[in-house]
């Protein structure tokens, strides 16, 4: 397309991204049973790969840069899924920002421009895989002594990088498989699976907190319910006040308040997902044919909170690299600068203790902000109550404002804005009763709702995720992880319902965008 080529230089990358391995799109309609087969198969493959450890990696010396974001990164430390969906989300963020800010001039309504967008994004994902893999291997993913001795230190690191790149691109292909042959999104499926696993073990895990020691009152079962049952069967009611109530209610891991916070988020998200504004529609030629166009309160879905969480995860990763990595610590201004972020050794593991990265790091429950208000003994080392409150305010602000901004970008780049929706309704032959059949009129009506709902959507998901982090969550799945898992499960259930409906009534495929 001549016009497309004149608009964007990205068309010149076509010979590169068209040669990248990809999943073939189905030629026609894929039956519901086939979609379910691929969905289950990819889910099983994902769980298998999270248990395939990277060959030659010293698991004991490895430091997980994304530990606090592990649930939403849909990965497993030290496995082929170590990077999880991080490179995919980061690549998506970059493309959205550039297209949304009109730095890259691509019209996503045009089929050729959209194909270029998707192809370049695939190429960018590969770049981000390398960008995230190399610093980690040369910083905190330590090859085993045997591998170093057999093939040399440099080749050992290259081998680990190759395995990380292979695993990450496999995640990308699995996501494509679910999108083209299954139901929903592979990224969403992996997030929900990982979070559900953590929530299950965080609630019902009967193994002691320190698995190297026998179960005792000082080393109780790690799961919330199992720990509660253990205390009530081994401690008399008169002795429960001797610190056991505090251990049950607020102390990590998996206190009761975290379980309650998780349940609150679960039921609140389930309710909010059902709240919507429904615009009445009628068909221009078929009298009596009426319908409704739903504008959900969570209009931008959970994507904005995934994107802001990915940004914060990368901030944490690079803060650690700039502080302690032998190469990055020598970078002028940023290298080993405590204002960027500094770390203290906690039990042989570096712990973020201050700097800008600390103020935007994920909250770990009530002990990070509420308990310091009542007991100065809970204050982090070297921190005042004012700094703790500042961190709480900054984190809430970043989560809410960041989610709002990403919600607006997401709506603009996915044809969900007033103008695009007006054209979709117009092309389907529908119109709002009482209004002239004109896309400009429809657009003005939709402008009353969509921009406002978009902002509310971003603020709600960002606020909910931050609120869950403030209370803590079972399995250390993070507030963002719980929010995403619940929303994804509801949306997947609705998508399955639509697929079954289209299977029974093929004429509805066109209306729902199916083939």
pLDDT tens by residue, 461-493: 999 999 989 988 898 888 888 888 888 888 888
Whether 467 and 304 have beta carbons less than 8 Å apart is answered as no
Count how many Cα atoms sit within 13 Å of the Cα of residue 515 in the half-sphere of its side chain.
9
pLDDT of residue 505: 61
Structure tokens at 399: 């989560």
Least confident of 13-22, 290-299, 430-439: 430-439
Contacts (Cβ under 8 Å, ≥6 apart) of 40: none
Whether 191 and 485 have beta carbons less than 8 Å apart is answered as yes
pLDDT tens by residue, 40-52: 999 999 999 999 9
Whether 368 and 388 have beta carbons less than 8 Å apart is answered as yes
Report the alpha-carbon distance of residue 345 to residue 378 in Å, rounded. 18
pLDDT tens by residue, 104-135: 888 777 788 888 888 898 899 999 999 888 88
Closest CA to 134 of 164, 173, 166, 167: 164
pLDDT of residue 39: 93
How far is C-alpha 392 from the geometric centre of its chain's CA atoms?
A: 21
pLDDT tens by residue, 179-216: 999 988 888 889 898 888 889 999 999 999 988 899 99
Longest dimension (CA), the chain: 82
pLDDT of residue 163: 95
Judged by DSSP in three states, 229 sits in: helix
* Residues counted in the chain: 515
Report the alpha-carbon distance of residue 210 to residue 203 in Å, rounded. 16
pLDDT tens by residue, 50-71: 999 999 998 887 777 677 677 7
pLDDT tens by residue, 263-292: 988 888 888 888 888 888 887 666 656 778
Inform me whether the pLDDT recorded for 144 exceeds 70: yes
Closest CA to 46 of 178, 156, 162: 178
Report the alpha-carbon distance of residue 92 to residue 187 in Å, rounded. 12
Report the alpha-carbon distance of residue 351 to residue 354 in Å, rounded. 9
Inform me whether the pLDDT recorded for 441 exceeds 50: yes
Whether the predicted model's global pTM rises above the 0.85 cut: no
pLDDT of residue 5: 45
Rounded mean pLDDT, 360-371: 89
DSSP state of 434: T
pLDDT tens by residue, 221-230: 999 999 999 9
Q: Which domains does the chain have, with CATH numbers?
A: 1-190 (1.10.3370.10), 206-253 (no CATH)
> What separation in angstroms does the CA of 412 have from each of 97, 120, 178, 297, 428?
10, 18, 24, 17, 21
How far is C-alpha 12 from the geometric centre of its chain's CA atoms?
A: 31
> What separation in angstroms does the CA of 441 have from each of 215, 414, 434, 445?
68, 21, 11, 6
């Amino acid at each position: 397309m001549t016009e497309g080529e004149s608009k964007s230089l990205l068309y010149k990358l076509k010979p590169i991204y068209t040669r990248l391995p990809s999943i073939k799109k189905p030629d026609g309609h894929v039956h519901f049973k086939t979609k379910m087969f691929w969905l289950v198969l990819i889910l099983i493959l994902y769980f298998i790969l999270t248990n395939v450890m990277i060959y030659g990696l010293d698991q004991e010396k490895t430091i997980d840069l994304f530990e606090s974001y592990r649930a939403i990164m849909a990965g497993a430390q030290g496995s082929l899924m170590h990077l999880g969906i991080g490179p995919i989300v980061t690549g998506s963020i970059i493309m959205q920002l550039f297209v949304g800010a009109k730095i890259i001039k691509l019209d996503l309504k045009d089929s050729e421009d959209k194909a270029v967008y998707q192809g370049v994004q695939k190429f960018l994902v590969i770049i981000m895989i390398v960008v995230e893999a190399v610093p980690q291997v040369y910083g905190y993913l330590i090859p085993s002594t045997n591998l170093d001795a057999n093939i040399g230190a440099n080749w050992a690191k290259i081998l680990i990088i190759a395995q990380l790149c292979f695993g990450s691109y496999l995640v990308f292909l699995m996501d494509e498989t679910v999108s083209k042959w299954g139901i929903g999104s592979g990224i969403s499926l992996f997030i929900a699976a990982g979070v559900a696993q953590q929530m299950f073990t965080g609630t019902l895990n009967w193994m002691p907190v320190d698995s190297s020691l026998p179960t005792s009152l000082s080393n109780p079962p790690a799961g919330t319910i199992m720990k509660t049952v253990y205390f009530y069967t081994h401690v008399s009611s008169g002795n429960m006040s001797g610190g056991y109530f505090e251990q049950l209610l607020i102390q990590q891991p998996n206190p009761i308040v975290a379980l309650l916070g998780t349940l609150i988020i679960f039921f609140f998200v389930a309710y909010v997902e059902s709240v919507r504004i429904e615009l009445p529609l009628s068909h221009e030629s078929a009298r009596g044919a009426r319908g409704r166009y739903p504008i959900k309160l969570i209009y931008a879905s959970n994507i904005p909170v995934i994107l802001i969480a990915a940004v914060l995860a990368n901030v944490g990763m690079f803060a650690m690299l700039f502080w302690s990595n032998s190469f990055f610590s020598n970078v002028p201004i940023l290298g080993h600068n405590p204002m960027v972020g500094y770390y203290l050794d906690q039990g042989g593991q570096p712990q973020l203790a201050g700097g800008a990265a600390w103020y935007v790091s994920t909250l770990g429950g009530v002990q990070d902000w509420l308990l310091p208000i009542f007991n100065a003994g809970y204050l982090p080392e070297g921190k005042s109550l004012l700094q703790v409150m500042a961190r709480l305010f900054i984190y809430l602000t970043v989560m809410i404002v960041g989610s709002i901004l990403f919600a607006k970008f997401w709506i603009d780049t996915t044809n969900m804005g007033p103008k695009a929706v007006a054209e979709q309704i117009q092309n389907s032959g529908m119109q709002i009763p009482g209004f002239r059949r004109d896309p400009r009129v429809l657009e003005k009506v939709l402008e009353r709702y969509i921009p406002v709902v978009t902002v509310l959507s971003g603020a709600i998901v960002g606020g909910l995720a931050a609120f869950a982090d403030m209370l803590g969550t079972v399995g250390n799945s993070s507030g963002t992880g719980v929010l995403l898992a619940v929303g994804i499960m509801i949306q997947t259930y609705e998508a399955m319902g639509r697929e079954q409906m289209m299977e029974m009534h093929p004429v509805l495929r066109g209306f729902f965008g199916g083939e």
